[in-house]
């Protein structure tokens, strides 16, 4: 049985509800999302495969999840570096970046150079709210991710993909197929086009919210913040 998916409008409405009647703050949701991303990286790329994790961070919430993940990865013993070319002026993102600076996590400007010495990459550039054109410097970054042999974990959506329809038919991202995907809260329709290992994270949803938005809450085990699901969103 295929897992139910959450479209872009429903995902945005769900986030708004979680932060209003659900009584969550955006800080909490981002912390839990970033924690689940870090666990997915730990699962697919244990430290003995190499400690150097490059986190590519976009300007919005997806990027915030990446900043949180980088902090957790550092505490796990990895050596993360962060590529964050379009820094947000939002106070929350500034605090997340400061937390990384206090851990001596380097911020890099030259993405191709950083990629050449990375063991793993986290794609936290664009998430479910992305639409329209990919603007510089991100086309260069996404093209590099498409061509690299370094394994890539995408957060919620492979950057540049259409949330409903998957990879673009042509242009930036049309040949970008990351190795791993961590869907936050619930898979998005694009998961049907994804061929790698797929995880769901975000262990904070109430049964009532899941029923209202018509998606399945996976069975998390023990301390895990993630659950692996099969190809195209099939349950394992």
27 is in an annotated binding site: no
129 is in an annotated binding site: yes
133 is in an annotated binding site: yes
Residue 173 has what DSSP assignment? T
123 is in an annotated binding site: yes
Strand 197-201 and strand 226-229: pairing? antiparallel
131 is in an annotated binding site: yes
Q: What share of the chain is helix, strand, coil (3-state, %, to 5)?
A: 40, 15, 45
Residue 152 has what DSSP assignment? E
62 is in an annotated binding site: yes
Q: Annotate 112-136 with b (16+ C-beta within 10 A) or e (fewer).
A: eebbeebbbbbbbbbbbebeeebee
61 is in an annotated binding site: yes
Q: Annotate 150-179 with b (16+ C-beta within 10 A) or e (fewer).
A: bbbbbbbbbbbbbbeebbeeeebbeebbbb
Phi, psi torsion values for 225, nearest 5 degrees: -100, 5
β-bridge mates for residue 123, sequence order: 56, 154
29, two tokens: 């949701």
128 is in an annotated binding site: yes
156 is in an annotated binding site: yes
65 is in an annotated binding site: yes
What strands lie across the sheet with 226-229, from one edge to the other?
107-108, 79-83, 52-57, 120-124, 152-155, 180-184, 197-201, 226-229
Please give the annotated binding residues for K(+), written as ranges.
62, 123, 159
Give the residue ranges of the annotated binding site.
61-65, 123, 127-133, 156, 159
Binding site feature residues for (6S)-NADPHX: 61-65, 127-133, 156
């Amino acid at each position: 049985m295929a897992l139910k998916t959450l479209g872009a409008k429903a995902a945005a409405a769900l986030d708004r509800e979680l932060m209003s009647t659900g009584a969550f703050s955006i800080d909490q949701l981002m912390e839990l999302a970033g924690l689940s991303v870090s666990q997915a990286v730990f699962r697919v790329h244990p430290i003995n495969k190499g400690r150097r994790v490059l986190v590519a961070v976009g300007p919005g919430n997806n990027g915030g999840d990446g900043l949180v993940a980088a902090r957790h990865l550092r505490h796990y013993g990895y050596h993360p570096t962060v590529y964050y070319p379009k820094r947000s002026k939002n106070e929350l993102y500034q605090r997340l970046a400061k937390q990384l600076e206090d851990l001596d996590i380097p911020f890099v400007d030259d993405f191709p150079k950083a990629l050449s010495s990375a063991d793993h990459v986290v794609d936290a550039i664009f998430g479910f709210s992305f639409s329209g054109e990919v603007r510089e410097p991100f086309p260069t970054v996404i093209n590099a991710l498409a061509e690299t042999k370094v394994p890539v974990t995408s957060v919620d959506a492979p950057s540049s993909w259409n949330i409903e329809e998957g990879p673009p038919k042509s242009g930036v991202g049309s040949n970008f197929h990351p190795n791993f995907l961590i869907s936050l809260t619930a898979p998005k329709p694009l998961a049907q086009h994804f061929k790698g290992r797929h995880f769901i994270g975000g262990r904070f949803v109430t049964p009532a919210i899941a029923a209202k938005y018509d998606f399945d809450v996976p069975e998390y085990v023990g301390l895990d913040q993630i659950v692996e699901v099969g190809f195209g969103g099939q349950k394992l």
